[in-house]
Homo-oligomer: A and B are copies of this chain.
Amino acid sequence: MPLLVVGSIGIDTIEAPTGIATDVLGGAATYFSYAASFFTSVRLVAVVGGDFPAEHRRLMESRKIDTSGLEVRPGGKTFRWRGRYSQDMNERETMEVHLNVLADFNPRLPDEHRNCPFLFLANGAPSTQLAVLEQMRSPRLAVADTMDLWIKTQHDELSRLLRRIDGLVINDQEAKMLAGTDNLVRAGRTIQAMGPRFVVLKKGEHGAMFFSRDETYVMPAYPTPDVIDPTGAGDSFGGGYMGFIASNGDSSPTSLKRAMAYGTVTASFTVEDFSLNRLARIGRDDIDRRFAEYRRMTAF
C-alpha cells in the first residue's frame, strides 16, 4: 500500500572523522523515502529551490518515488545544513543551517495523496505536521518524528500532535527531554501516555526501543564495522519501518515488531557511506539477506 511522507529535502555538508562530503543530497524526507522505497510505493511531499540538482530528483525517481508532490520554487534556494561529527560519531554539532525555502514550507497535498493509508510526518514544525494531518482523509496509520527544537518552541502544538497520531519516532536524547527523565524506559512510557498508540525510541548505534500500552521491547543496532557517516540513519530507520508496515498493510503488534528489525537493517546500510551512496548501491535482496543474518544474530 502507498506510503506518504512529508518533510525536508536538503543539501548537506558533512564533516566526519572519516572524511568530508560537500553539498550532498540529504534531508529527513529524502532518507526516509529512499529507504522506504525498497518496501513499498512512496509519495513524497517536500519543497526545494531552483538550485536543486536534477540528478538528485532523478535518483529519487529511479526508485519510483512519486515526486508529483515536490514543490520547486525557481527563485528560492534549497534547505542547507552543515554538521560536524565527534570522533566517536555519537555526537554531532550543527555548524550552519539555512532554512531557505523550508522557512515557509506550507505543504498542500495533491488530492490523490489525501487518501494515502500510511503517513509519515518527518521531522518538522508540529504546527506544519498538524496542518498536513488536517488534509488527510483518515489514514490507517499516521506516524511522526520530532526534535529538540520543537519540544522547546512548540510544546503545545507537539502535545496536540501527540494526541492525534498513532506513533511517534523519536531520538533517545529528545525523548529524555520531552519526558523529563533520564531513564529511557520511563521516557518511552511517559511519552506513550501523552497520546500516541506507540513510541519508537531511536538510540543510534545502540538500537531502538518500542513502547505501547501492552508491550515494551528493544532491539540492538546491526553491528556494522563500516560506519562512515551516521547522517540519515534515523530517517532511514523510519523509512524501513514504515515501508515494511505499508508493504503488507498490517500494523498489528507482530508486524510493528518485524518492521523495527527491517528499519534497523535498512539504517545499517545508510551509515556505511555518505549521503545516499550506500543505499543507492543495494537492492531489496541485500536488505533481506542482512535481515536474515540479524535475526540469526539476535536469536538465542
Q: Which residues of A contact B (CB under 8 A)?
A: 17, 87-89, 176, 182-186, 189, 203, 205-207, 209, 216-221, 223-225, 227, 257-258, 260-261, 295, 297-300
Contact = CB atoms under 8 A, between A and B. Distances in A.
A220 B223 contact: no
A218 B223 contact: yes
Interface of chain A, helix or strand or loop or mixed? mixed
A219 B217 contact: no
A257 B258 CA distance: 22
Contacts of A203: 206
Copies of this chain in its oligomeric complex: 2
Contacts of A258: 300
A17 B181 CA distance: 12
Contact of A300 (B189, B205, B223, B261): B261
Contact of A218 (B182, B221, B295): B221
Given A189-B225, A207-B206, A219 B88 contact: no
Nearest to A221: B218
Contact of A220 (B17, B186, B219, B227): B219
A223 B219 contact: no
A53 B217 CA distance: 41
B185 A217 contact: no
Shortest beta-carbon contacts, A-B, top 9:
A88-B182, A206-B206, A185-B225, A217-B297, A218-B220, A257-B300, A185-B223, A261-B300, A220-B220
